Amino acid sequence: MSNTPRSVTRVIDTVRVLEGGGFPVRRPFPTATLDHVDPFLLLDHFGPIEWGPNQAIGAPAHPHRGFETVSYILAGAMMLDYLGQKQASQDIENIVADLLFGVKNPSGKLPVSFPLVGKGFLDHVTPEQFPGAISADGKTQTVTYSEKLHMGYRWYDANISGQCAVVNGANPCLAFPFGHGLSYTSFSVAAPNFVATSSGYEISATVTNTGKTKGSEVVQVYLALPDSASAAGVVQPPKRLVGFQKVELAPGASKQVVVKVDPAASNHPLSVWNQGQKRWTIPAGQYTAFVGKSSAPKDLVQAGTFTR
């Protein structure tokens, strides 16, 4: 490593930090047990970095974590330069400066759940779940997905570990919930509404930019299925993401955002896999729709209910 540029060394060290937090951990995906896979659900389930008060596991405590992250971005760009991929990192310094000084507002949302140290999914898995049990031949390794549908944010919502019961609208196992995001401005989500249409359902809410900077908010819609859903196959999680819509607003501006839910869509928003019938079915009973800014209960409001 003596001839390696410091920026490259920094990136390699960063990768080691992520490995310490469990980021590269992957398991074969169980295609036989698929049931309504949310966007980014696999990344949420397999790729969280565990966070302490100010740090990722394996990283030195750092009160200015944002600047540490920026240094990783810059180091990554420099590494691309070192590898001869200059065009990929072109103008990176201007991009980072625009983000740091608020010229641009990224308004991003997390596609993963960030658990606190010792409270994540990987802290509670059995050897059969990960890395898998070795058979008598000493070669075959079998991974058992006993968590079934409780993947990613669903595992935390369902309080599988017994440590994640919601307190004051927040999950005590999470540093940052699925769907959470920061911005240079702030938003309110109000006037939730639910309407049944000829082709499905429309969940709406009024989003207002309550800050002083232009920015974007992602309105997310989650659905809680009736109790009968679990009887068709495996136990269902408390809620599932069924749609989202991004809106950009100037300071003080408001807009009604409508998220359409089509029961016949390919992501099966209302359906469960009926193991007995070997097909997707829509359970009978009452469904509850929630709308908000993240998967955290404190960020969601009930938009309405309907019965199938």
Regarding whether 69 and 131 lie in a shared domain, the answer is: yes
What domain range includes position 146?
A: 6-175
Regarding whether 214 and 135 lie in a shared domain, the answer is: no
Q: What pLDDT shows up at residue 261?
A: 97
Tell which of 143, 175, 207 closes a domain.
175
Regarding whether 155 and 37 lie in a shared domain, the answer is: yes
Q: What pLDDT shows up at residue 4?
A: 37
Regarding whether 249 and 224 lie in a shared domain, the answer is: yes
- pTM, whole model, 2 decimals? 0.74
Regarding whether 193 and 278 lie in a shared domain, the answer is: yes
Q: What pLDDT shows up at residue 74?
A: 52
Q: What pLDDT shows up at residue 219?
A: 97
> Is residue 50 within 8 Å of 117, Cβ to Cβ?
yes
Q: Is 164 part of any domain? A: yes
Q: What is the CATH number of the domain that holds 257?
A: 2.60.40.10
Regarding whether 139 and 48 lie in a shared domain, the answer is: yes
| Separation CA 48–CA 42 (nearest Å) | 10
Q: Please give the tally of structural domains in the chain.
A: 2
Regarding whether 147 and 205 lie in a shared domain, the answer is: no
Cβ within 8 Å of residue 31, ≥6 positions away = none
Amino acid in position 154: R
Q: Is 1 part of any domain? A: no
Q: What pLDDT shows up at residue 98?
A: 82
Q: What pLDDT shows up at residue 152?
A: 93
Regarding whether 256 and 169 lie in a shared domain, the answer is: no
Tell which of 146, 175, 204 closes a domain.
175
Q: What pLDDT shows up at residue 99?
A: 79
Tell which of 129, 153, 175 closes a domain.
175
Regarding whether 269 and 130 lie in a shared domain, the answer is: no
Regarding whether 189 and 78 lie in a shared domain, the answer is: no
Along the 308 residues of the chain, how does pLDDT read in single tens digits?
344 333 333 333 333 333 333 333 334 434 333 344 343 444 444 443 344 443 333 333 333 334 444 444 455 554 455 445 545 445 677 777 887 788 888 888 999 999 999 999 999 999 999 889 999 898 899 999 999 999 999 999 999 999 999 999 999 999 999 999 989 999 999 999 999 999 999 999 999 999 999 999 999 999 999 999 999 889 999 999 999 999 999 999 999 999 999 999 999 999 999 988 999 999 999 999 999 999 999 999 999 999 99
Regarding whether 248 and 155 lie in a shared domain, the answer is: no
Regarding whether 284 and 188 lie in a shared domain, the answer is: yes
